Structures are given as C-alpha cells and as structure tokens.
Amino acid sequence: MSNEEVLKQFLEKFDASDLHASESFDMLTITLNTGRIHDAIKFLRNDLGFGFLTDICGIHYPDAEKQLGVIYHLHNLQENIRIRLKTFVTIANPNVPTVTDLFAGANWMERETFDFYGIIFDGHPNLKRILNVDYLDYYPLRKEYPLEDPTREDKEDHFFGR
C-alpha cells in the first residue's frame, strides 16, 4: 500500500472540499476539520489497518486564525506505512473529540496535550492535568510569553548578534 492508495481510499470516504493532503519525508499528511477527525481515525484503523496510534501532540501557531492544533501519527504495521492527521481549533473554542474509545493509549497523550496546550478533548474519561500542578493557571507550551526577559540589564546585545 502506498501513500497514493491510502489517499485515494480516504478521498472516496471523505469529501475533499475541506481537507488538505501533502507528503513530506515519505509520510502522508492530511489536514481536516475537527468535526471529522474521529471518523477519519476510525476509518484508518478499521478499514485501512492503521492499528497503532504512535503519538498525539499539540501545536500552537500564535499568528494563525486557528492557533491551536492537534497532530495524530498512526502506523499500519502490516504495510509499514505511517500517516499524519492534523486538525486546528481556536483558543476561544479549543474542543476536539477524544479518540480514547478507539485507542486506549490515547488517554495519557490527550491528557498531556490538555495539560500543556489547553486543548479540551470532548468525551475523554478523565481529562485533568497529568504532569503540571492542578492550580497552574496557564498552559506552558503556548507561545504567549516573550522568549527573553526584557528587564535584564546584565547582558550586552552585541554578544548575541544583535
């Protein structure tokens, strides 16, 4: 099975009007609407043999319209082919459906993504912080803070190429 065959079968099942497909480093990447992500992962698992959920991670693009995203990596072990799915949401509505009903291992990955990015996985059985303290009132991997402390006076810019 090749990336082209996977994409062809995927497009037969899902409307191509609101998804984007690309390929980089021999991995097919499909970006689609949040409302269809659960059905897409279920189709890939049940019909195309992508039975191993390698990873779920969050991303934050502060200058984009939909700033937060979730990336899913799945692997078909029989065919030795991998696929990446992406979906994007706004900070005002950071809700994505859970895939814990499809992959039990998604439980901790979704909790970690919630903990660090604030993405809420609707239907998750135990969505609470997993690594940070419960009273933390921000999400540490969002790019919402300056990279450097502007109040520092002990460094000289010419040492840093500025």
**Residue 108 — pLDDT band, cuts 50, 70, 90?**
very high
Provide the 3-class DSSP secondary structure of residue 31: strand
Of 13, 29, 43, 14, residue with least CA distance to 71: 29
Do strands 52-60 and 27-31 pair parallel, antiparallel, or not at all (unpaired)?
A: unpaired
Question: 3-class secondary structure for 39-54?
Answer: HHHHHHHHCCCCCEEE
> pLDDT, tens digit, for every residue of 68-103?
999 999 999 999 999 999 999 999 999 999 999 999
How many other CB atoms sit within 10 Å of the CB of residue 35? 12
pTM: 0.88
Q: Token digits for 61?
A: 């693009």
> pLDDT, tens digit, for every residue of 4-18?
999 999 999 988 888
> How far is 26 from 2, CA to CA, in rounded Å?
10
Domains detected in the chain: 3-160 (3.30.460.80)
